[in-house]
Amino acid sequence: MEQEKTSATTAEITAKGRTTGAVRCMNCMERIRPPLGAKTFKCPHCSFEWRISWPLPKFPRIRGPVWDVNRRLTEEAMSKKGKGKK
Query: In this chain, which stretch among 2-10, 17-25, 52-60, 63-71 interacts with Zn ion, using CB under 5 A?
Result: 17-25
Instruction: Give the residue with the Cβ less far from Zn ion, 28 or 36.
Output: 28
If you ran DSSP here, which 8-state letter would residue 83 be given? T
- Binding to Zn ion in span 21-60, by CB under 5 A: 25, 27-28, 43, 45-46
Instruction: Give the residue with the Cβ less far from Zn ion, 45 or 58.
Output: 45
Residues that bind Zn ion (CB under 5 A): 25, 27-28, 43, 45-46
